[in-house]
Amino acid sequence: MRAGVPMAALLALTACASSAPMREPTGDSVILAKQLTDIERRSGGRLGVAVTDTTGRLLFGQRSDERFAMCSTFKLLLAGQVLRGAASGGPSLRTPLPLAETDLLPHSPYSETQVETGELRLGFAAEQIVKVSDNAAANLILKATGGPPNFTRLLRMTGDTVTRLDRNEPDLNENVPGDPRDTTSPAAMARSSALLVYGDYLNSDYRRMLRNWLIDSETGRTRIRAGLPPAWIAGDKTGTCGTAYNDVAFIESPDGGKYMIAAYLDRPTVSDDAANALLAEIGRAVVENPPE
């Protein structure tokens, strides 16, 4: 949090941002907007979606400028920052990250297998925060790269003025209503993710590496990707806070269409499986009514 700005003022600013009017849909986006409104109604929660092209240009948005808890979707951006740093004079991907049993957190499947070695390697840690959303690895990366303040600073340098990380795992998952800490907007996340997957923020080798990590990710098989036709290519990074179900995905059609989708479902009243199925419906809706 910025020094000198009281929490009440920040909450007021967040409330104002959340009340901003939605973009007026046109063409096929009218159908898409109706479908997403129905998905939100059936979820019992609040749904924000942004669809961009490969340049990060917003093609469709519904509650796309409202703030949502990132949960583990921040790990996509963190992995991108690791790769960028390795290519520009920062820590090498072979940099050792000391690991002790006290560093382990719930859902740290990769770190648990490495604790006897006493370390992780930065590159492998970045890979595993994307593929399996390893929480201990994410904290070790943050510790080695300047923590949440530097994560946010690097995003500001790319033009993302919205996304912010304030805490480590697991505290960043708190998701108190109106709290701007550890939040993003669907539009900001989609733009920042498109910069990593399709833009020039990463060199071609590291861009390909990140893309493959997203394709191999194990956590999102029942979310956006589950709604796509078999011939489509996709990769994603999920985030789940218990009260939030999120997914950020790139999707590519056989005829060359490419989109970045950021979907944030906050406080649904349905079951976990039903929430995942609704995120799959979002993927299907975008495929059937692609915005332009």
Which tokens go with 29?
Answer: 């986006």
Measured at the alpha carbon of residue 189, what is the angle toward residues 201 and 67, in degrees to the nearest 5? 150
State whether residue 146 is helix, strand or coil. coil
Tell how far CA 133 is from the center of its chain. 11
Helix (H) or strand (E) holding 46: strand 46-52
Any catalytic annotation for residue 169?
Answer: yes
State whether residue 143 is helix, strand or coil. helix
- Helix axes 122-131 and 135-144, enclosed angle (nearest 10): 140
30/120 Cα distance (integer angstroms): 48
- Helix axes 28-43 and 272-288, enclosed angle (nearest 10): 170
Any catalytic annotation for residue 88?
Answer: no
Backbone angles phi, psi at 119, to 5 degrees: -165, 160
State whether residue 17 is helix, strand or coil. helix
* Annotated active-site residue in 66, 169, 192, 193: 169
* Annotated active-site residue in 72, 133, 193, 217: 72
Give catalytic residues, as residue numbers.
72, 169
